[in-house]
Structure 1
Amino acid sequence: MTAPSANPPLEWIVSEGRTPYAEALSAMESRVAAIRAGTAAERVWLVEHDPTYTAGTSARPEDLREARFPTFAAGRGGQWTYHGPGQRTGYVMLDLTRPHGSVAARDVRAYVHGLEEWLIRAIDRFNIRAERREGRVGLWVSNRATGGEDKIAAIGVRVTRWVSWHGVALNVDPDLTHFGGIVPCGISEYGVTSLHAQGVPATMEEADSALRAAWSEVFG
């Protein structure tokens, strides 16, 4: 009789339709507790939400410029973020007491760097160069029209007893005007963009395939 694996395979789940944000928070909290208890596998969960503004633990009330959509206290790090149709949100629930690919155990900084690298490699599959910027959260691409830079993906994490939750948001083809109700991540001097705005008419399924392929390159 074969003994059960100490580390069951990672679950990769893509939810159809739109997942209510409150439902996602509850589901993540339950899964994190189960991972910590050793009764459930780690999970990457890809969802779309209805238009929603979420506040991280550093969010400033004045950065909610116009409450056009429901708002939620997310409990993750960071400031205000928009989620909505056309944006792929990836919730990553990993046991950080052990290493994952190039990401060392018990190293939250390395974990966040790994999430950034995952997105950079996924976006690169569409021939778009996304980059980190010191002092600015998320991934950034050049704006040829203005000579500046725009954010194409956001990152916001929470770690509870060494289990991660929340994660990333990649702008595939959201309504970019919806970001106008907030100061995204507390940064007002830069814009927001998407794969479609960059001239890449990718489908959500193509974005998911890119994320899936890039995952193994970073996290094993």
Structure 2
Amino acid sequence: MTNTQPSSNFQNAAAYLSSSSSLARVSNTIKLELYGLFKFVTVSRIPSTSRPSIFDMTGRAKWDAWATVGKKYERPEEAERRYLEIARTLGWTEQEKGPDKREPETPSAEEDIWDKDEVSRGSSGGSGLAVSVSSMAPPPKVIDNSIHGTALSNDITGLKEILEAHPETDLNVLDEFGYAPIHLACDRGNVEIVKLLLQQGADKTIKDPDNFSPLELSKEAGHIEIVNLLVSTP
């Protein structure tokens, strides 16, 4: 937890930003920084949870922003100063008090910044996962029986059936977003899938679009059993 209480200026700036129309012209990069700064000042220096899955793109981007701020600043006061600096560029002043009252169900300031945003996959060009604003509804859920789908859903039986029926299957083939089956399994923590892929000769050094190896993905996500498995596998 943080060691100090946020200043009244910080609280006023956060209230201002939560309802300010100036956020409409703010890039996702700045929104992410604001989110990370807010969490540092009000909760703790770094996240206490594991890094979200690569398919929880909003959660992953926010987690990364918070962790990045925690690496950059030593004390909450430093993060608070940066937060106020950004707030001033968006029209907040020390005289701006923000709303006098907030309804109990009103989201917190950092949630307000994100309530209309969606972090989605990048478009073509090998950019991997990118932050973008979209109002599109998520696609309907479908069952994916491909090698990537079974790795992602932890369908060990399905993966075995694919490999038995098609022993020539390329275990290192990349999907449309640049991920090999082992990337997906490592990120999701699917231990048995990772074991099978390694037994069948999958490349444990292959890089994803963010230049992460399966081992690095497993470490970031906090999947220690998979980390140990990858380290111990020749």
Q: TM-score range by the shorter chain?
A: under 0.3
Instruction: State the TM-score, normalized to the length of structure 2.
Output: 0.22
Select the structure that is richer in helix: 2
Select the structure that is richer in strand: 1
Q: Which protein is bigger by CA-based radius of gyration?
A: 2
The answer to which structure, 1 or 2, has the higher relative contact order (CA under 8 A, 6+ apart) is: 1
